Structure 1
Amino acid sequence: MNDILYDVLAQWKSAIDSHDPSRAAALFTKDTIFQGLHPYGVGRDAVAEYYESQPVGLSPQYELLETRRLADDTLLGYLAVDFTFTDRPTLSVNLLVILRHVDDGWLISHYQVSRL
């Protein structure tokens, strides 16, 4: 279970590190509920728009704090994330993700950030 979460999160981090909103959005289900630090959005277009608005140089450093298997095809991860920037202080948040097994892989179906 942790291997699955770490794999998806590593791909998410890589997409953000390279400022590739389309690649980041592809890690989410088509009907994902996405809540960053702006009003929530639904679907991959909302995810891509959110990450497009983020500055180049943004990088998440995360620690997986808790995991739960909610069903055979559903996993929950709770993380502490530090988003670092090139021109401003680090932003520390909590992040809850729910992954679903869709077709032949695991995708993020819910993403909820909260400030510490």
Structure 2
Amino acid sequence: MTDVLRTVLDRWKAAVDAHEPERAASYFTDDAIFQGLHPYSVGRASIAAYYAALPVGMTATYEIRETRRLADDLVLGYLSVDFAFTDRPTLPVYLSVIVRRTGDDWLICHYQVSQVL
């Protein structure tokens, strides 16, 4: 399960770090529910718009804290993520994702961020 998550999240991280919003969104299902730190949205177009609005130079570093196999084609991941910026302090968050097998690939179908208080 951890290998599945790490494969998906490493691709996501590379796209976020490179400020490539369309590529980041391509690692989500067409109907993905996405909750960043702004109101939620559904689908790749809104996910790409969210990542496009983030500052250039922002990077993500994640640690997988827990995993659960929900079904043969669904894996839940609970992570801590540090979003680092060039001009302000790092933002630590918790992230829950559900990845779903789609054909031969795994894509994020649910993404939920919570601020660390």
Indicate the TM-score class for this superposition, using the shorter chain for normalisation.
Answer: over 0.9
Map 1:29-108; keep pairs closer than 5 Å.
29-108=29-108
- Gapped regions of structure 1 (runs ≥ 5): none
CA distance in structure 2 between the partners assigned to 1:100 and 1:61 by the alignment: 22
The CA distance in 1 between the partners of 2:68 and 2:100, in whole Å, is 12
CA distance in 2, matches of 1:74, 1:4: 10
TM-score (norm 1): 0.99
Please give the secondary structure, in 1, of the residue aligned with 2:16: helix
Q: Distance in 1 between matches of 2:54 and 2:104?
A: 30
Write out per-residue CA displacement over residues 48-105 of structure 1, whole angstroms, 9 at most, x where no aligned residue: 0000000000101111000000000000000000100000000000000000001220
Aligned residue for 2:8?
A: 8
Other structure's SS at 2:12 match: helix
TM-score (norm. length: structure 2):
0.98
- After superposition, the CA RMSD in angstroms is 0.5
Whichever residue aligns with residue 92 of structure 2, its letter is S
Distance of 1:107 and 1:48 partners within structure 2: 15
Of all paired residues, the percent bearing the same amino acid is 62
* SS of equivalent to 1:101: strand
Amino acid at match of 2:87: D
